Structure 1
Amino acid sequence: MEEVNSLAKKLKAHLPLHQARITFMSPFILALLRSRSTNLYRVAEEFQTKADSESSYRRIKRFFADYDYRFEQLGELILSCLDMERFTLCMDRTNWKHGSKDVNYLVVSIAWQGASIPIVWECLDKKGGNSNTDKRIAVMERVLKLIPADRIDNLLADREFIGHEWFEWLRQNKLSCRLRVKSDNVVEHEGKKIAIGRLCRGARFNQTVTWYTKKKVSGVPLYIAARRTLEGLLIVVATEKPDSMIEDYAKRWGIETLFGNLKSRGFDMESTHMTNLDRMDKLMRLLTIAVVWFLLVGHWHHGDADQLPLNKHYRPAKSLFRLGLDMLRRVLKNSCSKNDQITFLDLLNVLSRT
C-alpha cells in the first residue's frame, strides 16, 4: 500500500480533485501497470486492497459511472510534467469495434522524443468514419485553452484532415501546419487545374521537391512539398511555411507510436468492454497519466530516444515507453537487481521532475 499512498500524494499535489477520486486513481493506475490491460476484470485482480477482486470491480464501475472533471486539470498536469516552451502537435484518429459497437477517438497529442502524449481528445459518436470539421475545430479550441497558438510550432495531420473550412480556421488562428494531402486532390497551378500526383510526378525516390509559389489547395493558397519514399509511396504535404516541410511532417509518426502504446504494445486498450463515450473518455484520462509517466521514466534512466542502441534493423530494440514500463513493473514486483539502487519513490519523483 506504500506505493498507492505515495502516488496518491503526488496526484493530489497536481490535480484539484476530491480525495476519494485521488484515492481511487492511484491504485487503478498501478493496477493498469501490473496487468498491462484495460480489461476491467483484470485490472480489478491487480488492485492493492484488502477487498476481493469482485468488490474492486464494482468500485471501478462506480468510478466510471460517476466521476467527472474539467479537461484543463489533466492538461495542466501533463504540461507541468513536460516543462516545454514550444510544441509540435499531432492530430489523428484511432478506432476499433467491440461486438457491433464502434469505438472512435479523435486525438491531439504532443510530439515528444519520437513518441507523443495525448493532450485533448474526443470520443466520436459515428461508426469509425472520418471526423468532421466542426469536431476538429472544437478539439483544437480546447487545445488553445492550454497551449497558446504562438507556442505551437506545427500541427501535423494525415490526409483525412483537409478541407477549405478547416484550412481557413487554421489560418485565421495563426496555427502553422504540416498537413498531408491526397495525390488525387486538384490544385491550381499556373492558371490551370491539375491533380497533385501529376504535379509531383517528377519527384524521384528519396528526393524532396518543394514548390515555393503557393498553389490553391481546397481553395486556400498553400505551399506544397513532395517526397517519394524508397518504396515508391508519394507523400505530399501542404503548409503556409515551406521550410523543412517533409522533415517536420515525419514527426507525425509519434501519434502512431502512441496508439501502439495504448493498444498492443502497452495497455491492450481494445480489450476493454466499455463502449459508452463518457466512460471511454475517462479511461483515456487515466491512461494518459500512465503514458506520460512511463515515457518520463524511460527518458530519465536511458536518455534521449535518438541515443538508444539500435537493433540490426536500425530501430531501437525498445522504445522509451517500453523501457519506462518495464522499469516500473520491475520495481513494483520487487525484482530489481541490488545494484540498480532505484526505488519506487525515485520513479515517482520523475513524474513531477523533482
Structure 2
Amino acid sequence: MPATTCLYDQVLSLLRQSSNARDLRHLKALAWMVTALVCSGRLSLPQWEAYVPSRARQAQSTERRWQRFLGNRRVRVKSLYVPLVLAAIHRWQGRRLYLALDTTVLWNRYCRIHLTVTCCGRAVPLLWRVLEHPSATVSTKRYLPMLRLAHRLLQSYPDVMVLADRGFANHDLLEWLSQSRWHYCLRLPSDVVVQGPRRHPVKVGYLWPPKGEARLYEGVGIWSEGRWRCNLVLAHVKGVEEPWAVITDESPSLNTLWQYALRFRVEELFLDSKSGVFELEASGIRSAPALERLYLVAAIAILDGTTQGMAVQLDGLRCQVDPHWRRGISYLNIGLRWLKGAVNKGRTLLQLIALFTVDPEPCFASKKAEAHYYDRIWFSRIQSLCCQPTPGQSA
C-alpha cells in the first residue's frame, strides 16, 4: 500500500463529509491533488506523478488527469471549499471575525482577488476569484459579488469587520458596507479630499501629523462632496516610512490601527502560495478558470495543514517538528511537516480541529523578533478632534 494513502484517505473523508460535489470522481481527483501537493510542496502538475498510485505507465497520462480536473466546468470551487472553511470557523460565532480583502498579480497577467479570515498570525482563504487583469487595482463590480456571497454565508456571525488597503476605498464599497452592517477599517490614499478637519476641504496628505504623533478625527466627510461621514485616524510612527490614514465606522482610537494591521497577515498567505510553501508561480497554468481550480487545491492544503498544525500544538507534539523552544514557525508549516512525517515516518494523522479563536502560543522566529513584537509603539502626542459638518454637508 502506498505511503500516501493514509493522507489521501483523510483528505477524501474530509471532502465527502463537508463538500457538495456533483461527481465522486471529482472528490477523488481533488484528494489526490491535495495529497501530492502536500508531499511535493509545489503547485506543479508534473511534480505530482511520483506521489499518486496509478495504472498509467506514462507521466503524461497522469498529468492529463489533473488537466481535465482544472478544465472541467462542472467542478464548482465554492461548493467544494466553502463548507470546509465554514466548519473550521464555527467556533468564531461569538467573536469578531476579521476579513481581509486584497489582490495579488501573477505574471503581470492575472489578478487574484482574495477574501480571507485572519487567524493566529496568518490568513486562511475564504473566497477568491481570478481575472485576466494585469493590475492589482480592480473595480468594485469585480469583488462586490464576492462580498455579497460572504455576507450570505456569514449570516450567523453578527460581528464582522472588513480590512482593505487604499485601492478599495470608494463610494460603492462604503455604501455596501453601510447596508450590510459590517464594520470596516480601510486605508485612504493621501490625495483623498476630506471635510471637517479644516474650514475648507483638504487632502489627507496635508493633515499628516509629525513623526511620533497621532490624530483622531470623529465625523469626517470623505471626498469632495462629503457624502460619507466616518472616523479618521492619522498616525506617523517613528521608523515607518509612510504615515497611515485609516477610516472606520467605529470610534477612532489607537485600536483602529491595530485592527487595520491585521490586514498584513494576508501578505504571508500570498507568500506561502506564490513562492514560499507551494510555489504557485511554477504551475505554468495560463487560464483564469483553471487557476481558480488550481488554487482550490492550495486552499484545501492550507486549511488542512493549518488545522493539523493546531492539533499538533494542542496535543503537545510541536517539538517533534519545530526545533524552536517556543513556537517559531506558523501552524501551517507545523501541520505540513507533520503530514509529511505521517507519509515518510509513519506518524499518526491527528483528528482535525476547528481554527483557534485565540492563539495559545504566538509565533516568534527569534528573541529579537519577540522583543520587536512586544515593543510598544509610543506616540509623543495624541489629539482627538470632533469635526462639525460644513454648510451643505449631510450630517
Same fold, TM-score > 0.5, yes or no: yes
- In the alignment, structure 1 residue 240 sits paired with structure 2 residue 249: yes
**Alpha-carbon separation, structure 2, partners of 1:32 and 1:236:** 40
Alignment-derived partner of residue 46 in structure 2: 41
Which has the larger Rg? 2
Give the counterpart letter for 1:61 in structure 2. Answer: Q
Question: 3-state DSSP class of the match of 1:74?
Answer: helix
Q: How many residues align?
A: 335
The equivalent of 2:390 in structure 1 is none
Root-mean-square deviation over aligned CA pairs: 2.7
Q: Is the 8 Å Cα contact of residues 225 and 238 (structure 1) preserved in structure 2? A: yes
Aligned counterpart in structure 2 of residue 23 of structure 1, from 28, 31, 51: 28
Amino acid aligned to 1:64:
L
Of residues 99, 107, 115 in structure 2, which corresponds to 1:108?
Answer: 115
> Which residue pairs with 1:55 in the alignment?
61
- Is 1:195 matched up with 2:221? no
- Aligned: 1:78 with 2:92: no
Superposition deviation, residue 172 in structure 1: 2.0
- Aligned position for 2:102: 92
Matched, 1:225 2:236: no
**Aligned partner letter, 1:271:** A
Cα separation, partners in 2 of 1:172 and 1:288, compared to 1, 3 Å: same
Once the two structures are superposed, the pairs formed by residues 220-299 of structure 1 within 5 Å of their partners are 220-232=228-240, 233-243=242-252, 244-299=255-310
- Distance in 2 (alpha carbons) for counterparts of 1:56 and 1:76: 28
Q: Tell me the TM-score normalized by structure 1.
A: 0.86
- Is the contact between residue 311 and residue 353 of structure 2 (CA under 8 Å) also seen in structure 1? no
The aligned residue for residue 123 of structure 1 is 130
Query: Aligned residues: percent identity?
Result: 20
Q: Distance in 2 between the 1:175 and 1:10 partners?
A: 31
Residue 46 of structure 1, CA deviation: 2.6
Partner letter of residue 32 of structure 1?
Answer: L
Structure 1 letter corresponding to 2:53: Q
Task: Tell me which moved more, 86-95 or 40-49.
Answer: 40-49
The separation in 1 between residues aligned to 2:88 and 2:156, in whole angstroms, is 20
The offset of 1:275, in angstroms, is 1.7
* Secondary structure of the corresponding residue to residue 108 of structure 1: strand
For structure 1, the residue ranges without an aligned partner over 5 or more in a row are: 337-341
Give yes or no for contact 1:298–1:320 (8 Å, CA) kept in 2. Answer: yes
Equivalent position SS for 1:151: coil
Which residue is 1:65 aligned to? 71
Secondary structure, aligned partner of 1:155:
strand
Q: Deviations over 1:316-352 (max 9, x none)?
A: 6312211111121122112x6xxxxx402x2xx2157
Aligned partner of 1:350 in structure 2 is: 352
Match of 1:339 in 2: none
Q: Residues 129-174 of structure 1: CA distance to partner in whole angstroms, max 9, x if unpaired?
A: 4110111211111211211285343100011111122222211221
**Residues 43-88 of structure 1, C-alpha deviations (whole Å, 9 max, x = no match):** 2333233434322111111111124216144212111023221411
Asked which structure has the greater RCO (Cα within 8 Å, sep 6+), the reply is 2
Secondary structure of the structure 2 residue equivalent to 1:350: coil
1:290 CA drift (Å): 0.7
Partners of 2:79 and 2:67 in 1: CA distance: 24
Q: Which moved more, 1:104-113 or 1:135-144?
A: 135-144
Q: TM-score, normalised by structure 2?
A: 0.78
Pair 237,316 (structure 1): closer, same or farther in 2 beyond 3 Å: farther
Q: Residues 249, 352 of structure 1: CA spacing in aligned structure 2 closer, same or farther, 3 A cutoff?
A: closer
